[in-house]
């Protein structure tokens, strides 16, 4: 309505109809707004007047679909071609960059890592020796599965006997040294055998300690014997004194751990029947060359004198002239740490 003049004071006054927005109830205004939004959305999705879908004509969408179809077909063919090219030029038997030429090279040094089993959980280094069979079985299942999958040679076609005169470095391509779990655990009566439940039922657990696989790595020749003797407090036996052998020793990490860890027995290729001061891996089982049926040599350490209800942190070290031992935070090189706890409690009571 056009404004009307007020004759009383010559001041123009604007009179509004009752239909103005400010006088419409709030509920009606919200309903009108929602209706307008819905109508706008409906028209955007499909405009019957202009024959458009999502704001564009059908011809536009057909052209777009054809373009992206051929674009992604060509992209997929390009990717497949690159994979085929790399698959053809990269060896599946050996890495392109390895040892000192790999990312493991740190200032001219390649650090050797170590591992252990059993490892009940991947993010925990605690090995608990419970008093009940079910919990013991849960603990040793990690070691059992590792033995079955990685420490057993099933196909003898690719196996050869390794010795000082026929080391692994001189094996034919795709051949591996004949070695498996049975070369260490030689009988069912062995303290670390499956039949003896790897020592866990007697509270004398066996822990497998190994070097991580590094393609092409071999132990250097050097005077490492005095270092091993100093670590164990005992001389290395003359029959074991090869300066390119690898030695494994374990002890408590801290002084309190060393006082409580008790006696140990090492079962290894140097001493399959056990030796109380160190374990050893002969040099002629190296290098690892990604051959079929390869089993990485290991040492079984049995802890025969663990006290009850006391956590003991154990540190195992590997010894060779070109194995550097360093520990930085949670990262260890040339060594591995785990915790042992022997308890009379049931496994279910700790959950």
pLDDT digits (tens, 9 = 90+) for 233-273: 999 999 888 878 999 999 999 999 999 999 999 999 999 99
pLDDT, one tens digit per residue, over 233-244 is 999 999 888 878
So what's the pLDDT on residue 117? 94
Contacts (Cβ under 8 Å, ≥6 apart) of 112:
211, 212, 214, 217, 318, 320, 323, 324, 333, 334
C-alpha angle 308-311-313 in degrees, rounded to nearest 5: 130
Q: What are the tokens at 194?
A: 């499956």
pTM, rounded to two decimals: 0.75
pLDDT of residue 324: 86
pLDDT above 90 for 98: no
Q: How far, in Å, are 16, 127, 211 from residue 24 at the CA level?
A: 12, 75, 82
Q: Over the Cα atoms of the chain, what is R_g?
A: 37
The H or E element that residue 256 is part of is: helix 255-260
pLDDT tens profile 171-184? 888 889 999 999 99
Q: Which two tokens stand for residue 92?
A: 């599946």
User: How far is residue 276 from each of residues 5, 127, 241, 251, 262, measured CA to CA in Å?
Assistant: 116, 21, 16, 12, 11
What local confidence, expressed as pLDDT, does residue 222 receive?
A: 84
């Amino acid at each position: 309505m056009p404004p009307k003049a007020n004759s009383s004071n010559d001041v123009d006054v604007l009179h509004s109809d009752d239909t103005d927005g400010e006088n419409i109830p709030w509920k009606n205004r919200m309903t009108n707004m929602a209706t307008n939004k819905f109508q706008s959305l409906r028209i955007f999705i499909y405009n019957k007047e202009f024959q458009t879908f999502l704001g564009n004509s059908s011809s536009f969408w057909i052209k777009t679909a054809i373009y992206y179809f051929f674009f992604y077909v060509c992209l997929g063919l390009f990717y497949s071609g690159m994979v085929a090219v790399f698959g053809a030029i990269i060896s599946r038997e050996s890495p392109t960059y390895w040892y000192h030429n790999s990312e493991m090279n740190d200032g001219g040094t390649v650090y050797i890592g170590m591992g252990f089993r059993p490892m009940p959980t991947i993010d925990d280094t605690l090995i608990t020796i419970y008093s009940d069979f079910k919990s013991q079985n849960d603990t040793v299942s990690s070691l059992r599965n590792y033995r079955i999958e990685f420490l057993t040679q099933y196909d003898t076609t690719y196996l050869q006997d390794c010795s000082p005169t026929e080391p692994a470095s001189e094996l034919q391509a795709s051949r591996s040294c004949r070695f498996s779990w049975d070369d260490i655990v030689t009988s069912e009566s062995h303290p670390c055998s499956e039949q003896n439940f790897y020592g866990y039922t007697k509270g004398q657990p066996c822990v497998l300690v190994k070097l991580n696989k590094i393609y092409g790595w071999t132990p250097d020749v050097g005077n490492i014997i005095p270092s091993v003797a100093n670590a164990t407090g005992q001389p290395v036996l003359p029959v074991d004194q090869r300066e390119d052998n690898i030695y494994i020793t374990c002890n408590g990490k801290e002084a309190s751990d060393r006082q409580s860890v008790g006696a140990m027995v090492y079962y290894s290729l140097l001493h399959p029947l056990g030796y109380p001061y160190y374990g050893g891996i002969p040099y002629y089982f190296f290098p690892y060359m990604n051959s079929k049926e390869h089993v990485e040599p290991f040492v079984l350490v049995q802890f025969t004198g663990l006290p009850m209800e006391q956590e003991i942190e154990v540190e195992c070290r590997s010894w060779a002239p070109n194995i550097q031992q360093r520990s930085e935070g949670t990262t260890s090189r040339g060594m591995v740490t785990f915790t042992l706890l022997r308890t009379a409690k049931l496994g279910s009571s700790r959950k």
